[in-house]
A = this chain, B = another copy of it.
Amino acid sequence: MSEERIPVAVVGASGYTGQELLRLLVMHPRVDLVAVTSRQEEGRKLAEVFPRLRRAKGADSLAFMHPDVEAIVATGAKVAFLALPHGLASEYAVPLLERGLKVIDLSADFRLRDPEVFEEFYGSAHPAPDLLGSAVYGLPEFYREEITRANLIASPGCYPTSILVPLVPLLEQKLIDPASIVVSSLSGVSGAGKKADVSLLFTEVNESIRAYGAPKHRHLSEIEQELTVAAGDRVKISFVPHLMPITAGIATTIFASIEGATAEVSEKVSETYAERYRESTFVRVLGEGKFADTKHVVGTNFVDVGWVVDERTGRLILSSAEDNLGKGAGSQAIQSFNLVCGLPEECGLLHF
């Protein structure tokens, strides 16, 4: 019956991604949250751990449980979101899939098709290489059909979404030179997770702007994998993330050399996006001369995209913004969930 609610579990829900996921799930009209797990919060009510959720459906009664596979299955959950550290996620994905649940994994465990690339970027052998073949990269704008049919979704990282949405259509149409791509991304602090680390204290981050993680941030692996698919040829880019004194949001600026003449490139970019994102509610194309601003997307599932043409140097400059916890993590995972469950893609996600 169409109005039935789908029983859902969230495994590893005590971090910022879990928190945003739960915030959205308690408001989702077709979700029945039946299990939330956390070792450290075991036994505490959802609303106790996340005071913002007091009075939300279920939040005052549902308690965090130990992350035990059998106990999760016993709750009747049909879909499990995994908001766990990489490596640990596959330990849950494998048995949950075997027990018939659909799994939407927000970790990096199943994003890479090649286990060797995983080992190169994550420093350990892939924990479940057999599953890589069946996992689908959970960027609905590019893998809508595959997600609809999948049992295991590898929901993308925060930086990749902000980079792939503006770049993929242009590489597919060969409007830019893949070898010239340079990316500067600016991220809110929640992207670093909820961990007791002196470098993430308010006093260390406030009034501070700094790059980090270059030249080989882990997310490069999945970014280049997907850019390579789009270009039809091996793509390598330079990528520098920066830590910003904001709670949430990523703004990405991309520089790429224009293939051919600059004269009509802006029009072609406009047409390419219009065509590619015709059915993508959550990509908002701002147009030429517009720069995306994180404050218009935080708390939403939208990714905004604008661009300018730098005629003096023959480069196209792209600008995107998203909520790193939203379209970059939690709400994007729910977007896949909607597809997996046969719900409208926008269900429970049209927040502004």
Question: A: which residues have CB within 8 A of B?
Answer: 16, 23, 26-27, 51-56, 182, 184, 186, 189-190, 194-198, 200-212, 214-216, 236-238, 240, 242, 244-251, 253, 255, 281, 284, 286, 291-300, 302, 304, 308-313, 315, 317, 319, 321, 350-352
Contact = CB atoms under 8 A, between A and B. Distances in A.
A291 B212 contact: yes
A244 B319 CA distance: 15
B209 A321 contact: yes
A293 B203 contact: no
8 contacts: A51-B286, A52-B296, A208-B294, A209-B250, A236-B312, A244-B244, A299-B299, A351-B351
B189 A203 contact: yes
A309 B352 contact: no
Nearest to A191: B203
Contacts of A27: 350-352
Contacts of A251: 209-211, 242
A310 B253 CA distance: 18
Given A203-B189, A299-B299, A313-B237, A51 B215 contact: no
A300 B297 CA distance: 17
Given A237-B313, A315-B182, A214 B51 contact: no
Contacts of A16: 203
Which 3 pairs of residues, A with B, have the shortest CB-CB distance? Answer: A215-B310, A184-B184, A208-B295
Contacts of A299: 299
Contacts of A352: 23, 26-27, 52-53, 56
A203 B190 contact: yes
